[in-house]
Every structure is written in C-alpha cells, then in structure tokens.
C-alpha cells in the first residue's frame, strides 16, 4: 500500500496536495507504521523519522508546518515553516514551498486552493471546529471570492460509524437548519453524523462550488487508515498542501 495518496482535483499542477495512509513508516504497533502525530505516545524518534520520510516524499523535500490542534476555530497565516508548534486548527499561506499540514485519525481534513494557485489552506475539520465556523474563518483569509476557491475533503469517520448525541446535532442546526439532513436518528436516541455532508454544505453555502472528495471511512479501513474511534491508542495521518515555487 502506498504511503501517500495524491489529491485528485482540478487544481493546477503547481499545487502539491496529498494525504498519508498508515503504511510505509517506522512506528511499531499500535502506531504501525507511518504515524505522524507526536502527541499520541509513540516513540519520538520514530515520529521524527516518519516526518522526515514525509518531507522526502515531497518534490523539493519541503519542510512541513505542524500545528497544535485544539479543536477550535483559530486560523494561522504561515510565511515560513517553523519548528515551533502553533496552536490552531487551520493554516493559510500565500508563500511558495511552504507545506501546510493537518493531522487526523477520524476528523475531516479539508484542503483549499484558489484557482490562480496563489493561496492555499489546510483545515482540521473535526466536528467542533466545523461547528465553530472554521471553514468560514479560513475562507475569510483568502483575497478572492469563495467562488474562486477549490476544496478537497479527505478520509474521515464515515456516516455509518460516527455516533453523536443530540447536542451535536443541535449545534449544527443552530448554524443552518438544513444541516439536520446530515444526521440520522438511531433507535437508541443517538445520531449517525456525516462530516462530509456537513462540510460540503458549509462550503457550498459560503460560495465554494468546486468540491472534490475522497469519501473513505477511516473506521472501516483498518489496514489503510488510523482511527481513534476504532482503536483508541493509534497514530495520525497527515493531509498536506504546498505551492511549488
């Protein structure tokens, strides 16, 4: 299995965008093997080696800007990669050869680029950031209208596995009553939620019309993806976007 899945979308070839799988790295079980999260209890040296491998897989071995993701709505603008973690759940840049990354293991990675390929962003789309309007906050960083932005939605927990309470549904229906269609009531009073449906609706309502998806469930694909809901103690994938200079 490949370590890196290239994003399929109508963006220009000067944009490098990809998501990792769990294969091809150095980590031992339960982090087998391409774990890129340094906060999950894995051997730090294995994580360093995995992150170096990711950099080596990029066209010019670009350095990656990592975030300390806090499930909030903060968007940070990156002008040059730093070894320091920045607390935010989305990153934006207009600079070439700056690789933006978000870590996920059930949450939804969202990558954005304008059609001119001069602005990019990466979003950690957990349900809390999505409910806190992180999509709108990130789109606001772009100098162009939303109609001029291309979005990609990556693998996440699927709509047959993501069980939530009524309070989660209520947070989204307060944003837009139409989002009730992303929730399916179960016999036990819980709901199955569809992160792809939620994000796609929020993007569309904001004016983004070019939306591509890799709609694979992290929970159901245990050999391919890490899943926190499935395994508890596990690794993290990265979704990366970079403009080539």
Structural domain total, the chain = 1
Cα 219 to Cα 107, 160, 237: the distances in Å are: 11, 9, 13
Is 235 part of a structural domain of the chain? yes
Is 200 part of a structural domain of the chain? no
Q: How many Å apart are CA 194 and CA 67, to the nearest integer?
A: 25
- Render pLDDT for 39-55 as a digit per residue (tens, 0 to 9): 999 999 999 999 999 99
Is 201 part of a structural domain of the chain? no
Is 83 part of a structural domain of the chain? yes
Question: 109, 241 in Cβ contact below 8 A?
Answer: no
Residues 6+ apart with CB under 8 A from 219: 106, 157, 158, 161, 227, 229, 230
**pLDDT the model gives residue 1:** 67
Write out residues in the chain with pLDDT < 50, as ranges: none
Is 138 part of a structural domain of the chain? yes
**pLDDT the model gives residue 201:** 98
Among 111, 196, 131, residue whose Cα is nearest residue 157: 196
Is 196 part of a structural domain of the chain? no
CATH number at residue 84: 3.60.140.10
Is 144 part of a structural domain of the chain? yes
**pLDDT the model gives residue 245:** 84
- Render pLDDT for 9-40 as a digit per residue (tens, 0 to 9): 999 999 999 999 999 999 999 999 999 999 99
State pTM to two decimals: 0.97
Question: 161, 217 in Cβ contact below 8 A?
Answer: yes
Domain that holds residue 108: 4-156+213-243
3-state DSSP: the chain helix, strand, coil percent, rounded to 5? Answer: 25, 25, 50
């Amino acid at each position: 299995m490949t370590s890196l899945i290239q994003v399929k979308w109508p963006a220009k070839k000067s944009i490098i965008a990809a998501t990792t799988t769990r294969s091809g790295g150095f980590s031992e079980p339960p982090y087998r093997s391409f774990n890129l999260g340094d906060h999950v209890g894995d051997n730090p040296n294995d994580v360093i080696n995995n992150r170096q491998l990711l950099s080596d897989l990029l066209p010019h071995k670009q350095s990656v800007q990592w975030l300390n993701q806090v499930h909030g709505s903060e968007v940070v603008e990156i002008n040059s990669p730093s070894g320091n973690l920045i607390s935010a759940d989305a990153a934006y840049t207009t600079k070439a050869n700056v690789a933006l990354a978000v870590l996920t293991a059930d949450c939804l990675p969202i990558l954005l680029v304008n059609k001119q390929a001069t602005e990019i962003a990466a979003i950690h789309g957990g349900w809390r950031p999505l409910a806190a309007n992180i999509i709108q906050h990130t789109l606001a960083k772009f100098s162009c209208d939303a109609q001029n932005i291309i979005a990609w939605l990556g693998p996440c927990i699927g709509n047959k596995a993501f069980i939530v309470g009524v309070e989660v549904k209520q947070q989204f229906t307060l944003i837009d009553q139409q989002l009730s269609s992303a929730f399916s009531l179960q016999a036990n009073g819980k709901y199955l939620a569809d992160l792809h449906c939620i994000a796609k609706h929020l993007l569309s309502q904001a004016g983004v019309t070019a939306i591509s998806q890799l709609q694979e469930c992290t929970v159901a694909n245990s050999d391919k993806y890490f899943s926190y809901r499935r395994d508890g103690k596990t690794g993290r994938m990265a979704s990366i976007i970079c403009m080539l200079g």
